[in-house]
Copies of this chain bind each other. A is one copy, B any other.
């Protein structure tokens, strides 16, 4: 059996290695257009910033490993240019010599990946404008930055000397855009990130994105929302300017495009393979394309969203690797199937993390699904009495009718990955919020609390569903009386206009100050004291609801109204 694999990173490389493990006699050809196979795409931005010092660290396995350990016929600088599906042949072009040869195959596996979107804007081809996909891309960026030390930059007066700070503009606030922005800040650049939509990190909800925007802004990234890229020009001094739709011009010594990626389907189209409505190669759950002898995996394919059943594009390494393994299994006669993509992801930013799994609220809204509720909690990353605890912000989305966990989003300086991993694992099994209440997780003061944030999220959500704690949200309060049960000292720092203040420990003795004919919307700092107050009020015959997440949530819902379109 002869298998040709197009693409030597992530999905392709995983497929090749597993294929050899399953079939010692197969002839396996793996072709890669670039100079390297099996490199760490996810590490590329960190090599720009110097966090990963050596380029060689990016190579997970090299050609020699594939040849020596796996007896795989690896060919780099080799681009697949045409498929003849009827003849079961593929044309391969040596990108250095231009020579084209034709290889036959019994099975063909496409792992071409997705290319950075490179919109057809004026000036997009000017020197100094980069995408980030391959090791050579990163090498060019590093060389450009080294060379541009002689370029003029932003002058700022710092103490006794005038510092010339180079400026970068990053277009797009997704994974690559944000990771590149962070790494350019590390290098000392003045970084502006321009985002066409009203939030960064599209997969999460806008109020959660607000925390991330605020955090990275504090770390030095200027975030511009609601303004798209309109092109680029070069000034007489040689500096680039990134132009936006609103008419602004942001000068920069370097521009990085992180607008997104699109599946590479040109090769698939030569074979007449079916392309889905999202623009990816359409595959079944065994990664068969519309042609029985051709498989496709990774960023180039459309997969089913496990939460919604919709077709979706996922550009992540984990799914690509799993799909590569599945293809190897299927080629070798095994019944492996891809179960869809749950949508678990994480991004690290300046020592913090933002992570999510499952479905977002905006996706539910887009689908017209109203059978959901959400809670916001702000627990400590570990026991508060042990030094170093950091606050987490967690949004849990669950089905109102049966408590099934639908999605979770979290961010903070510590322990974000751990909690989203627990949510993601529970969701794999269709967990409800009642299950989360009971999950038995590790606890020692360095690592968590006797009630884990996962338990706590479950308890709060279950309290809502059981009717113990009716809730309200800042964006949908109605006309109730706002009751702040914090201590007056806390109000001095930050308060909500028109809210009545009765501290929790005075509430029992001051019930006669509250109306019995209005909703009472209770809040505190993060929701716990408000919960106690709501219980107290409900049992005393008041109509009370807890504003989920209290002041901690208020700050981002408020920002939702104010930051759009502004630079901060």
| A347 CB–B CB distance under 8 Å | yes
| CB-CB under 8 A for A346 and B316, given A69-B532, A421-B422 | no
| CB-CB under 8 A for A444 and B385, given A317-B450, A339-B438 | no
Residue interface bits A52-83, CB-to-B below 8 A is 1, else 0:
11000110100000001111000000000000
Of B321, B344, B357, B421, the contact of A418 (CB 8 Å cutoff)? B421
A426 to B384, CA, bound (A): 27
Chain B minimum-CB-distance residue to A24: B539
A445 to B45, CA, bound (A): 11
Report whether B426 and A535 are in contact in the complex, using a CB–CB cutoff of 8 Å: no
| A505 CB–B CB distance under 8 Å | yes
| A95 CB–B CB distance under 8 Å | no
Q: What B residues does A445 contact at CB under 8 A? A: 40, 42-43, 46, 348
A140 to B364, CA, bound (A): 58
| A188 CB–B CB distance under 8 Å | no
Report whether A345 and B442 are in contact in the complex, using a CB–CB cutoff of 8 Å: yes
| A495 CB–B CB distance under 8 Å | no
| CB-CB under 8 A for A447 and B539, given A51-B387, A440-B318 | no
Report whether A441 and B24 are in contact in the complex, using a CB–CB cutoff of 8 Å: no
Of B70, B348, B505, the contact of A532 (CB 8 Å cutoff)? B70
- Segment 346-405 of A: residues with Cβ below 8 Å from B: 346-348, 353, 355, 357, 383-387
| CB-CB under 8 A for A69 and B385, given A438-B428, A442-B346, A444-B42 | no
Q: What B residues does A529 contact at CB under 8 A? A: 69
A387 to B318, CA, bound (A): 20
Of B43, B318, B386, the contact of A385 (CB 8 Å cutoff)? B43
| A102 CB–B CB distance under 8 Å | no
Q: What B residues does A505 contact at CB under 8 A? A: 68-69
A536 vs chain B, min Cβ distance (A):
6
For the residues of A in contact with B, the DSSP-based class is mixed
Report whether B51 and A535 are in contact in the complex, using a CB–CB cutoff of 8 Å: no
| A261 CB–B CB distance under 8 Å | no
Report whether A417 and B357 are in contact in the complex, using a CB–CB cutoff of 8 Å: no
Tally chain A residues at the interface, Cβ within 8 Å.
84
A555 vs chain B, min Cβ distance (A):
25
Q: What B residues does A520 contact at CB under 8 A? A: none
| CB-CB under 8 A for A417 and B438, given A317-B450, A387-B51, A532-B70 | no
| A275 CB–B CB distance under 8 Å | no
| CB-CB under 8 A for A443 and B385, given A21-B535, A24-B536, A535-B21 | no
A383 to B20, CA, bound (A): 24
A215 to B71, CA, bound (A): 40
| CB-CB under 8 A for A51 and B425, given A318-B441, A532-B21 | no
Q: What B residues does A468 contact at CB under 8 A? A: 21-22
Q: What B residues does A426 contact at CB under 8 A? A: 425, 428-429
Q: What B residues does A317 contact at CB under 8 A? A: 443, 450
Q: What B residues does A70 contact at CB under 8 A? A: 532
Report whether B446 and A357 are in contact in the complex, using a CB–CB cutoff of 8 Å: no
Report whether A341 and B424 are in contact in the complex, using a CB–CB cutoff of 8 Å: no
- Segment 443-470 of A: residues with Cβ below 8 Å from B: 443-448, 450-452, 454-455, 468
A322 to B446, CA, bound (A): 20
Report whether B425 and A441 are in contact in the complex, using a CB–CB cutoff of 8 Å: yes
- Segment 530-568 of A: residues with Cβ below 8 Å from B: 531-532, 535-536, 539-540
| A25 CB–B CB distance under 8 Å | yes
Report whether A69 and B504 are in contact in the complex, using a CB–CB cutoff of 8 Å: yes
| A103 CB–B CB distance under 8 Å | no
Chain B minimum-CB-distance residue to A53: B387
Q: What B residues does A439 contact at CB under 8 A? A: 424-425, 428
| A291 CB–B CB distance under 8 Å | no
Q: What B residues does A25 contact at CB under 8 A? A: 539
| A219 CB–B CB distance under 8 Å | no
Chain B minimum-CB-distance residue to A443: B318
Report whether B450 and A386 are in contact in the complex, using a CB–CB cutoff of 8 Å: no
- Segment 420-440 of A: residues with Cβ below 8 Å from B: 420-422, 424-426, 428-429, 431, 435, 438-440
Chain B minimum-CB-distance residue to A343: B440
Of B68, B344, B348, B540, the contact of A446 (CB 8 Å cutoff)? B348
Chain B minimum-CB-distance residue to A175: B444
Q: What B residues does A452 contact at CB under 8 A? A: 318, 421
A450 to B297, CA, bound (A): 15
Of B42, B69, B353, the contact of A383 (CB 8 Å cutoff)? B42
Of B321, B443, B508, the contact of A450 (CB 8 Å cutoff)? B321
| A143 CB–B CB distance under 8 Å | no
Q: What B residues does A42 contact at CB under 8 A? A: 383, 443-445, 450
| A490 CB–B CB distance under 8 Å | no
- Given contacts A52-B387, A429-B435, list 18 more A-B pairs with CB under 8 A: A10-B450, A20-B532, A40-B385, A53-B387, A58-B385, A69-B504, A70-B532, A316-B443, A318-B441, A345-B442, A346-B443, A346-B444, A347-B444, A353-B447, A417-B447, A421-B442, A422-B422, A429-B431
Shortest 6 CB-CB contacts between residues of A and residues of B:
A68-B505, A429-B429, A24-B539, A346-B442, A317-B450, A418-B418
Q: Could you list 11 A-B pairs, sorted by A, with CB under 8 Å?
A: A40-B445, A58-B385, A317-B443, A317-B450, A348-B447, A353-B446, A417-B442, A418-B418, A420-B442, A428-B439, A429-B431
